[in-house]
Amino acid sequence: MNGSTPNGSWNTNTVPSIDYAKCPIEHLYTLKATELGPVDFITVRDRLLAQWEITKKTLERAKEVEMELRKINVAFLSDPAKHKGTENVELGGGYKATMVKKINYGFVKNADGKIDKHAIDDALDAIEEKIESGKLIAERLIKWTPDLSLTEYNQLPDAAKAIIDKVIVTTDAAPTLEIKAPKAAK
Per-residue pLDDT, 178 = 82
Contact by Cβ (8 Å): 153, 146: no
Q: Would the pTM count as exceeding 0.85? A: no
Per-residue pLDDT, 145 = 87
- In tens, the pLDDT along 2-31 reads 444 444 444 444 445 789 999 999 999 999
Q: What are phi and psi of 85, to 5 degrees?
A: 110, -175
* Cross-strand partners of 88: 98
Q: Is the confidence at residue 128, as pLDDT, over 90?
A: yes
Nearest to 101 by CA among 118, 87, 114, 84: 84
Which residue ranges make up each domain of the chain? Answer: 17-104, 107-148
